[in-house]
Amino acid sequence: MDVTIPITDDLVGEPTEDFTVTGTVASGNTSNASDIGTVTINDNDTPSIVIGDVTVDEGIGTATVPVSISNPSSVDTVVSITTTTGTAGTADYTETTVTATIPAGQTTVDISIPITDDVIDEPSEDFTVNGNVVSGNTTNTDPSGTVTITDNDGLPMLTVGDVIVDETDGTASVPVSIDTPSSVDTVVSITTTDNSATNPNDYTTTTVTVTIPAGQTTVDVSIPITDDLVGEPTEDFTVTGTVASGNTSNASDIGTVTINDNDTPSIVIGDVTVDEGIGNATVPVSISNPSSVDTVVSITTTTGTAGTSDYTETTVTATIPAGQTTVDISIPITDDVIDEPSEDFTVNGNVVSGNTTNTDPSGTVTITDNDVAPCPSLVDSDGDGLTDCEETTGIDDPGTPLSPPNDDDGPTSDPNDPCDPISTSSLVDSDGDGLTDCEETTGLDNPNTPLSPPNDDDGPTSNPNDPCDPISTSSLVDSDGDGLTDCEETTGLDNPNTPLSPPNDNDGPTSNPNDPCDPISTSSLVDSDGDGLTDCEEITGLDNPNTPLSPPNDDDGPTSDPNDPCDPISTSSLVDSDGDGLTDCEEITGLDNPNTPLSPPNDNDGPTSNPNDPCDPISTSSLVDSDGDGLTDCEEITGMDNPNTPTVPTGPSDPNDPCDPIGINTTDSDGDGLTDCEETTGIDDPSTPLSPPNDDDGPTSDPNDPCDPISTSSLVDRTEMA
């Protein structure tokens, strides 16, 4: 039979458990008195383990994460805890490794993970908390949970900074900022807008996109600033930034760039000096450089040594328009009849509108008197017919015959200058050029003369003792007939009334008016000796640029004889009349023409020779020996030695006579002791022992007849011998 034992169904997770059931025979017959059985109870409450998900504000300090089992366990549940980064990194929390123990009978325990409170605006981020059950009974062993960190940093605010620059800075650096760093790039579109400062007069319109990198808070925008020369008030323009990408609490912001001017002008009232007869004094009111606005000045006058009887008190407003620098004011001047010294009064200004560095300028008007005190003196220092008083005042003294003229230089003149006034000056013309001495020294025209002083290259004045000054009225005499007047040659200046201008040659702009070869470039092209050089080129040794040849600088120098076709030698004719290899000119002059292969030798008869004599010079003469006596024909004809032959002549001889000169030929055909030549000529050869006798048949004999001459014939007696 079965015994029913109630089993308790608790909620505690526990291991399999058992208890014993003992039966003892109380009645009946059994072989044993008792027995024991075991009841094993399998648990149905094994818990599952969970790590809770939590969401915390980053400013909380720590995240408390629950580690729980679904129902109590009869034993401690021990869990190893680690963290793993997600969108939240180690900059957002502290990595944590810890062991969490849920005591038996309990269901949860908290772990604490430090959270970092940064200042960066960022979205919510999370990381993972991982568990591993190392002891206890759970249905699972590796729970995990998520910690989400919500940001406590409000969205950053965009700001475009206000800056103040001087217009000389070149650029304005405008900061574009967010008040706290962002975890993402902040991209801002920048534009500029004119205000009192305008493009391009004051700055350059700029449209650009700038990026504030994640983690940073500012970036600068550079905008070109124009440095002009115009005085102007402080001006500004705006810089608008619009967020194109990123997280900000505002979508745009506007900054202002203020430009301080560096061109504020100073204001001046000019000092002026006027003649009291002028009627009005024109006084300039000026600023040092243009302004962008009107400059308005209140003008008043204050008496000085000049009183209200000398000018009209004036109160007026003067306006210098924007962009301009000056305006004139007119103050009436009184023309009285009182002789008085120069007097002055003050013109005061007060700037009532505009920008200037100073506000109260002043200037002085000086009035010179035009009333001359009576001058009764008749002194005439320069003897020009006008008294000194008439000249200094310009007023006629009725007691004198002349009245002061009103010339080009005014009604007054210098009482010590006989040329002033010019119209009454002396008509003396020292250099006879048609201009009076006074016209030349002053450059002023005397209306009583036919000519007026010209304004030449050397000015309106000239030398009254120089007939070539001024050049334009100088004499047209051309002494050397070269087309330039004598004056043009001596001064080197052009007379505009002649067709030629003096050239600037190698010897300068001036030349000799009596030398038809100076200047060389306008000289005659006559070539008297037909050698290709003009007579002037030969005489001067200068090149006329209008001819094809230039004078050479030969052994005899750069000049030559224009009537000598052999001078210069280097351009002389190559004619060789006697065919001896030297040109006629080389023989006549004894100079070498560098264009020929031979040079004239300096022989016994000197460096020159006869161009028609083939034997002159002897050293280049022909080696022909017509009579075969060892002397050339030329040596025999001239009696001069040709150094190129072995035999030297003793004097002139017959080139066709082998016995002339005597002694050259020593043949003795008949063996009579006299050479053939001694016999045929009757002349003694000094190199032989005998001399030809003068017999009955004369001094000559037959060289082939041993019996002639008889006086030297053999003494053999053949008859007696027979």
Asked whether residue 169 falls in the same domain as residue 296, the answer is no
CA distance 137 to 15: 8
CATH at residue 354: 2.60.40.2030
Asked whether residue 19 falls in the same domain as residue 145, the answer is yes
Asked whether residue 122 falls in the same domain as residue 9, the answer is yes
Q: Identify the residue with better confidence: 162 or 481.
A: 162
Asked whether residue 143 falls in the same domain as residue 165, the answer is no
Asked whether residue 14 falls in the same domain as residue 114, the answer is yes
In this structure, of 80-94, 365-379, 607-621, the range with the lowest mean pLDDT score is 365-379
Alpha carbon 283 to its chain's center: 44
Which residue's structure tokens are 């190893």?
80
Asked whether residue 240 falls in the same domain as residue 162, the answer is yes
Reported as a pLDDT band with limits 50, 70 and 90, residue 460 is confident
Q: Please say if the pLDDT value at position 529 is more than 90.
A: no
Asked whether residue 239 falls in the same domain as residue 339, the answer is no
In a domain, 141, yes or no: yes
In a domain, 722, yes or no: yes
Q: Give the number of domains in the chain.
A: 4
CA distance 521 to 545: 6
Rounded to an integer, the average pLDDT of 105-121 is 92
In a domain, 460, yes or no: no
Q: Which of 292-306, 651-665, 695-709 has the highest mean pLDDT?
A: 292-306
Q: Which of 62-66, 524-528, 638-642 has the highest mean pLDDT?
A: 62-66
Q: 120, 153, 186 — which closes off a domain?
A: 153
Asked whether residue 20 falls in the same domain as residue 80, the answer is yes
67 contacts 82 by C-beta, under 8 angstroms: no
In a domain, 172, yes or no: yes
Q: What is the pTM of this model?
A: 0.39
In a domain, 441, yes or no: no
210-221: burial string, b at 16+ Cβ within 10 Å, e else: bebeeeebebeb
Reported as a pLDDT band with limits 50, 70 and 90, residue 716 is low
In a domain, 361, yes or no: yes
Its domain, for residue 10, covers 1-153
Which residue's structure tokens are 């007069």?
201
Asked whether residue 140 falls in the same domain as residue 26, the answer is yes
Residue type, 276: E
CA distance 708 to 700: 9
Asked whether residue 144 falls in the same domain as residue 45, the answer is yes
Asked whether residue 206 falls in the same domain as residue 342, the answer is no
Asked whether residue 162 falls in the same domain as residue 45, the answer is no
- Other CB atoms closer than 10 Å to residue 425's CB: what's the count? 25
Q: What is the mean pLDDT of the chain?
A: 88
Q: 98, 121, 153 — which closes off a domain?
A: 153
Contacts of 720 (CB under 8 A, 6+ apart): none
In a domain, 243, yes or no: yes
| Helix (H), strand (E) at residue 681 | helix 676-681
pLDDT one-digit tens code per residue, 237-255: 999 999 999 989 999 999 9
Specify the pairing of strand 252-260 against strand 163-166. Answer: parallel
Residue 22's DSSP bridge partners are: 36
Q: 260, 282, 306 — which closes off a domain?
A: 260
In a domain, 337, yes or no: yes
538: burial class by Cβ within 10 Å (0-12, 13-18, 19+)?
A: buried
